Amino acid sequence: GSLLELGSVSRLSEQLGTWAKAHGEAEGAYEFRLPGVVYVVVCKHALGTELLAHRPFKLRRAAQLRETVPFEGLFFAEGDEWRLDKRVVGPAFSHKHLEEYLHPIRRIAERLVE
């Protein structure tokens, strides 16, 4: 995907979903470019799990992403900080727990959109 296909930033979520259906189903991932940055989007749980198993030793977020995010926290941690955070909160993000969160979060999101 590219910025030209995106059209408007307000359509980002919709366009990411469209690209996932069109390009991500076969391989489980796709990439898109915005000025100066290439993003990789993982669409399949199995591939995401495999990739996350390599963090933080063989897989890290791009330095550009860390520079563009103006805050720190669990979702942006790397290296030793990430290892510690993963131990503390990892169980809450297990597949079982995420399934339990899905319906309440969906209801909240639907209310916010209304």
- Residue 105 contacts by C-beta under 8 Å, 6 or more apart in sequence? none
**Worst-scoring range by mean pLDDT, 63-67, 78-82, 89-93?**
63-67
**Tokens at residue 105, please?**
């979060």
Q: Tell me what pLDDT residue 91 has.
A: 87
In tens, the pLDDT along 45-57 reads 888 888 877 766 6
Give the rounded percent of residues in the chain with a pLDDT score beyond 70. Answer: 75
Distance separating the N- and C-terminal Cα atoms of the chain? 29
Q: Is the pLDDT of residue 28 over 70?
A: yes
Alpha helices in 1-114 (DSSP H): 3-6, 12-19, 25-27, 45-52, 63-68, 79-89, 95-113
* Domain parsing of the chain, residue ranges: 1-53
For the entire predicted model, the pTM comes to 0.51
Q: Tell me what pLDDT residue 74 has.
A: 67
